[in-house]
Chain A
Amino acid sequence: MTRKTPVPALSIALLCALQAASPAQAQDAAPVRVLAAASLTEVVEALAGGFRAARVETSFGGSSALARQIRDGAPADVFLSASPEWVAYLAEAGALAGDELVFARNRLVCVAAAGSSRTRGVGGARGLLDRIRPDGRVAIADEGVPAGEYARSALVSLGLLESFGPLLVGQQDVRAVLHAVERGELDAGFVYATDARIAAVDVLFELESETHPPIEYVAAALRGARNPAGARAFLDHLRSPAARERLAAAGFALP
């Protein structure tokens, strides 16, 4: 008998302790959940590390997929989109809290696996096409994913989308494009200039900014936030000199 008592007694004590602790702790420690475009992975991880107001939980993916998750009620406090388009989509869906900010810009480039000889010196999109047609494959982010939309607009402006069509392999986000190219699975791929810096790839050429809509990163506080104050604080953090310095160091242009 006496041997058995400690277990229930202990669990009751533990339960009481948990109950006493949990409401207060949940208030204090409600994390700021940041859903961010895949291209922001490293820089947002770093920015989250330097954010003191609350713990930050990050998750990364194509802005399109993240926007849809937010619209469908996924728990999130802040959305960092690689395109104003998906922020506008959430605004229409009534999912934004009102605080928004363009905090970075980017450029679009075409990359190949480091040292790959097949695409060396192609010069531009036309040259790439001539070099790898007909059995080559070029990675591009899927339709709707900002990196894919920018790249498709650029190819349309260059009058090359139709010729590239059968060569384009869709990937769920820009980092999937980057890593498929880096592994040598595909001859080339369209990624942001900042992505090209973090992988073993060579930049073949840039898709000039006149050929596609401006690449703007928009931060938005979300209406469904469980930590609205934390969300606003995170947006302020993005405006801070330290954050701007970090974004610049990662290769982003600042507005």
Chain B
Amino acid sequence: MSSAELDVVLLSVRVAALAVAASLVPGILAGWALARWRHPLLPLLQGVVMLPLVLPPVVTGYLLLFALGRSRPLGQAWHALTGGHVAYTTTACVIAAAVVGFPLLVEAIRLSMLGVDPRLEQVSRSLGRGPLDTFLRVTLPLALPGVAAGAVLSFARALGEFGATIVLAGNVAGETRTIPVAVYTLLNVRDGETAALRLVAVSVALALAALLLTFRLSARRRDP
């Protein structure tokens, strides 16, 4: 593998890791809310959270570009705040990957929180722990395997993100050219196929490893 290809792989891993890191806290909150809250509008929230899973990623990317593009109000607000841009930067890759991976993270967390016996939380409350304390010391530790499984799954999804990325982040060598974008680019290049195949192999290996890890984590959740 050439150093350019290695850069592509490292960028992909970095983007996916940042995407998961950025979505972990909101993901836990959303998963907990969807598992514990009772409200007639809850299915709507769930629908919005799950939307990126079923929307064509290109549509998700377009919506994000519509919000965050360099000539759009939010994009310009970002520019005023940070002096930088979102679209066509590594930040854009991270945002696209985080949004598209978010439903997988939330769903895994929601399911594992549903599996936590509410009576344990009640006992904790009756012994004088506050709601936040109960959440941090009882609910979250018990749901942790689900959180980990969701994190790994959304990491794998983030590694494979193409549709939203190509729209929001484009194809900037070294900055937004992740594995899928690099493979797509190499297919346009004469004699690019061997390099494409090497990246394809890395991609398959990473995805498979992530899936196996998810299976292990979910198995542990079932038999504690």
Contact = CB atoms under 8 A, between A and B. Distances in A.
Given A135-B85, A137-B85, A68 B70 contact: no
Given A137-B87, A170-B171, 6 more contacts: A135-B83, A137-B70, A142-B185, A144-B188, A144-B189, A183-B71
B88 A169 contact: yes
B172 interface: yes
A89 B88 CA distance: 32
A143 B84 contact: no
Interface residues of B, number: 23
A62 interface: yes
A212 B189 CA distance: 18
A145 B188 contact: yes
A194 interface: no
A121 interface: no
B4 to A, nearest CB: 11
Contacts of A135: 83-85
A85 B87 CA distance: 33
Contacts of B88: 137, 169, 185-186
Interface string A142-182: 11110000000000000000000110111110000000100
A68 B173 contact: no
Which of A139, A172, A185, A186 has the most C-beta atoms of chain B within 10 angstroms of its own C-beta?
Answer: A185
If over half of B's interface residues share one DSSP class (helix, strand or loop), that class is named, otherwise mixed; here it is loop
A169 B171 contact: yes
B70 A185 contact: yes
A64 B71 contact: no
B188 A65 contact: yes
A74 B178 CA distance: 28
Interface of A: 62, 64-65, 68, 85, 89, 135, 137, 139, 142-145, 165-166, 168-172, 180, 183-186
A187 to B, nearest CB: 8
Contacts of A180: 170
B83 to A, nearest CB: 8
Interface of B: 65, 69-71, 83-85, 87-88, 170-177, 185, 187-190, 192
Contacts of B71: 183-185
Contacts, number: 69
A168 B70 contact: no
Contact of A68 (B176, B177, B188): B188
A213 B66 CA distance: 37
A184 B176 CA distance: 19
B85 A64 contact: no
B188 A62 contact: yes
5 contacts: A139-B170, A144-B185, A144-B188, A166-B174, A172-B188
Contacts of A186: 70, 88
Contacts of A171: 170-171
Nearest to B190: A89
Nearest to B85: A135
A183 B185 CA distance: 23
Which 9 pairs show the lowest CB-CB distances between chains A and B?
A170-B171, A144-B188, A144-B189, A184-B71, A169-B170, A64-B188, A137-B88, A169-B88, A143-B189
Contacts of B190: 64, 85, 89, 144
